[in-house]
Amino acid sequence: MTNGMFVLALAVGAGLLATWIHTRFPGLTPERLGTVLLHTGAAMVVLRVVPVVMESELSPYVTLFAIALPGFVYAMLTAIWLMRQAQTALGLQR
């Protein structure tokens, strides 16, 4: 497996996990746009920390599955929340 294929599989897996979390726990979705934007900013900070941690002495597996994967899941979950807020603002939510 090449690095590109692994990153793609990691991203797809994170997206599937984020979708599952959103459908399984609908009460986690923030109601206000400001709260969603705060979560989005926090997710971006977590994703900016990943390259710094990759250069540390930690095992690559620990870095990938304890920091990178949850960071990707959190970022994709906040993207789902942003899309839901946009649907609500446009009156398209079912």
Tell me the residue range of the domain where 75 lies: 3-90
The confidence score (pLDDT) of residue 18 equals 97
* Contact predicate 87/29, CB 8 Å: no
Lowest mean pLDDT, pick from 24-28, 60-64, 73-77, 90-94 = 90-94
Residue of 69 and 50 predicted with greater confidence: 69
Q: What does the alpha-carbon distance between residue 9 and residue 11 come to, in Å, rounded to a whole number?
A: 5
Q: What is the pTM of this model?
A: 0.87
The confidence score (pLDDT) of residue 83 equals 93
The total domain count for the chain is 1
Q: What does the alpha-carbon distance between residue 71 and residue 66 come to, in Å, rounded to a whole number?
A: 9
